[in-house]
Amino acid sequence: MKSGKGRPVLVFDFGGTKLAAGVVDAEGGRVLSFVRVPTPAGQGASGSIDAIARSGKQALETAGVGMDELHGGIGISFGGPVSRDRRTVLRSMHVEAWDSIDLPDRIAALFDRPAFMDNDANAAALGEWAYGAGKGAENLLYVQISTGIGAGLIVQGKVYRGSGLAGELGHITVLADGPLCSCGKRGCLEGLAAGWAIARDGRALLENGGSSRLGELSDHRAERIDAEMVLRASQEGDPGSLAMVERALRYLAIGIANAVCLLDPDVVVIGGGVSRARPVVQGILEPALDEFLPAMFRGRVRLAFSELEGLETLLGAALLAQGY
Amino acid sequence: MKSGKGRPVLVFDFGGTKLAAGVVDAEGGRVLSFVRVPTPAGQGASGSIDAIARSGKQALETAGVGMDELHGGIGISFGGPVSRDRRTVLRSMHVEAWDSIDLPDRIAALFDRPAFMDNDANAAALGEWAYGAGKGAENLLYVQISTGIGAGLIVQGKVYRGSGLAGELGHITVLADGPLCSCGKRGCLEGLAAGWAIARDGRALLENGGSSRLGELSDHRAERIDAEMVLRASQEGDPGSLAMVERALRYLAIGIANAVCLLDPDVVVIGGGVSRARPVVQGILEPALDEFLPAMFRGRVRLAFSELEGLETLLGAALLAQGY
């Protein structure tokens, strides 16, 4: 029983399109098992609750951990804003019928132990701070660049939540009168640098004949283009894609530099899907960050990339379960 | 002796051009006395140290408080960045020969009690949180708009300092490739909305024949124009000045909205010289802030204006003296 299970904690991670359940050894910071399934479509919240019950049980079986061996509560990372008391989902950006659901209480009832939730950026920030690229930092800023852009802030070993919505880096204005964002206002960082914005610009690039490589990769069907494809084309040296990615990453550098000016963290950890194209992202982001930081901040903050390979939210959820 | 002195604390406030000493009743949050003198010019740090000794003694005499009646340590607000341990002045933006001075130790030696220092934005944030417009807030953002722009952040009753330089709101980029800032980079909020930028733009406005009212107020001598004059002209309805102030305040709104997205404070307190032109500032800033905040933040944060009439740094310094 002691053989490598450490202190097992049951965790859940609700992404935009996928739901994951896992068992994490909170002592060693390892994921012992995880099960990832598509969020059931068109079945509302109750369909998801069934999927949660099944996945949780599977994760426990795979890890060989019995319910009676679990430590503490259950940790939940949710891909969207949660209420100030973190007992309710405020709104899902991606999944229907998720508004105002008391997710922790429902999961607590399923597994008969208390459950604790936070948004995915805060969970990932905790994961990086405890087990990842930001280990040992006093103040850490985690920046998540995937379909959307979010941030999580750890201040002296605790998540800083403000009145509950802190860390909305994606919706700071970096270009007055810039493109319309999904949030309804103009010039947000998300609308210039998030995965959905890069995909949108990639499609426009193809339609305007600006990239033959994107045409090859997408079989000339613009609707197939996503951020990953644009990043791949730019890494291969496609000039149109590269110019576009450069522009997006320069705005991202403005956003991060702005957050650094306000928060002066020891370390900034970059995570999320887009960040996994690390060579091209780092090569552009690092010098741009220096450009947009005032002299007294340059060389002061450490820029690190997540090496937890997408498991940072599950790992962080294990800390949420312990009351972080 | 008990008659209204409460818990008297000796405090100092080093501004750009002026030095103030005061005695604050830290219990009631009242300034019992204060003495303000010009920073001695051309005499380096030692000239200032003499002035500190004289002013401190005067402040004590005026308040009728003996050295033996003082409570706790001495509080110091400094108008520029200080070191991470807050024992040394990093750099004065305005006064020569102030770099790397161990100001708290020098003042401690003069008055034979421990002295505690922080930058003026953090001191003012504490003053507003304890005694002013932000009383009772859990998380407070103080925005100082005077010659420069700075910010102080109170998180759950403590100053958040990051690695020592947190709160540099003046140097976030709000307009890529915008005007050159005093810090050497382009597009900083300061270069678009601080007192010095408003004065610079006012001079240009006069020189380009864009404001007859500014001509009258300055006797047609551009070098006489300062931010106060431009704000006055705009409050009187001078179209050129008003358009200019509007532009500056819209960028200020972007900066504040960006900080709110990241920090989600309960209250934002606006202070500093420029903010004292409250009717025009508030009339433009409030709607612009709504415009640059994502929907989920609108109506959530309380915008307040300092009513401590420039005494917020002295009052906050009294809290610094108590270890905040």
In the predicted structure, residue A49 carries a pLDDT above the cut 90: no
Which of A165, A168, A264 has its CB closest to that of B166? A264
pLDDT value at residue A1: 41
* Number of CB pairs, chain A paired with chain B, less than 8 A apart: 136
In the predicted structure, residue A58 carries a pLDDT above the cut 80: yes
CB-CB under 8 Å, A291 with B185: yes
Chain B contact set for A160 (CB, 8 A)? 155, 160, 263
DSSP annotation of A224:
G
- Can you tell me the distance from the alpha carbon of B49 to that of B45, in angstroms, rounded to the nearest whole number? 6
- Tell whether A185 is within 8 A of chain B (Cβ): yes
pLDDT in tens, A142-197: 999 998 999 999 998 899 999 999 999 999 999 999 999 988 899 999 999 999 99
- CATH code of A8-119+311-320, in short, is 3.30.420.40
CATH superfamily of B8-127+311-320: ATPase, nucleotide binding domain (3.30.420.40)
Q: Look up residue A229 and give its two tokens.
A: 């494809």
User: How distant is the Cα of B301 from the closest Cα of chain A, in angstroms?
Assistant: 9
- Can you tell me the distance from the alpha carbon of A15 to that of A124, in angstroms, rounded to the nearest whole number? 12
If one compares A16 and B317, the residue with the highest pLDDT of the two is B317
Chain A contact set for B262 (CB, 8 A)? 151, 153, 166-169, 172, 259, 262-263
- Tell whether A180 is within 8 A of chain B (Cβ): no
Whole-complex ipTM: 0.93
- Tell whether B171 is within 8 A of chain A (Cβ): yes
- Tell whether A148 is within 8 A of chain B (Cβ): no
Q: Look up residue B110 and give its two tokens.
A: 């003069």
pLDDT value at residue A2: 44
Which DSSP helix (H) or strand (E) runs through A232?
helix A227-235
pLDDT value at residue B2: 44
Residue keyed to tokens 């068109």: A42
Fold held by B134-305 = Nucleotidyltransferase; domain 5 (3.30.420)
User: How distant is the Cα of A53 from the closest Cα of chain B, in angstroms?
Assistant: 31
Taking residue B120's Cβ as centre, other Cβ atoms within 10 Å add up to 28
CB-CB under 8 Å, A163 with B139: yes
How far, in Å, are B76, B97, B106, B119 from residue B87 at the CA level?
11, 17, 10, 11
CB-CB under 8 Å, B172 with A262: yes
Backbone angles phi, psi at B229, to 5 degrees: -65, -40
pLDDT in tens, A254-299: 999 999 999 999 999 999 988 888 999 999 999 999 999 999 898 8
User: How distant is the Cα of A280 from the closest Cα of chain B, in angstroms?
Assistant: 22
pLDDT tens string, chain B, 324 residues long: the values are: 445 788 999 999 998 778 999 999 999 999 999 999 987 777 777 778 889 999 999 999 999 999 999 999 999 999 888 999 999 998 765 566 677 889 999 999 999 999 999 999 999 999 999 999 999 999 999 999 998 999 999 998 899 999 999 999 999 999 999 999 988 899 999 999 999 999 999 999 999 999 889 999 999 999 999 999 999 999 999 999 999 999 999 999 999 999 999 999 999 999 998 888 899 999 999 999 999 999 989 888 999 999 998 899 999 999 999 988
Instruction: Pick the residue from chain A with its C-alpha nearest to B288.
Output: A176
Q: Do domains B8-127+311-320 and B134-305 have the same CATH topology?
A: yes
Strand (E) positions, A15-126?
A: 18-25, 30-38, 74-78, 115-119
Query: What angle, rounded to 10 degrees, do the helices at B312-320 and B120-131 form?
Result: 90
Partners of residue A18 on adjacent β-strands = A38
Burial B260-286 (b: 16+ CB within 10 A, else e): bbbbbbbbbbbbbbbbbbeebbeebbe
CB-CB under 8 Å, B155 with A155: yes
End-to-end CA distance of chain B: 27
- Does the predicted model carry a pTM greater than 0.90? yes
Chain B contact set for A171 (CB, 8 A)? 261, 294, 297
pLDDT value at residue A92: 66
CB-CB under 8 Å, A265 with B262: no
Q: Domain-by-domain residue ranges, chain B?
A: 8-127+311-320, 134-305
CB-CB under 8 Å, A250 with B183: no
CB-CB under 8 Å, B81 with A296: yes
Q: Round the average pLDDT of chain A to a whole number and report it.
A: 92
- Tell whether A125 is within 8 A of chain B (Cβ): no
What is the architecture of the domain spanning A133-305?
2-Layer Sandwich (3.30)
Which of A163, A169, A264 has its CB closest to that of B300? A163
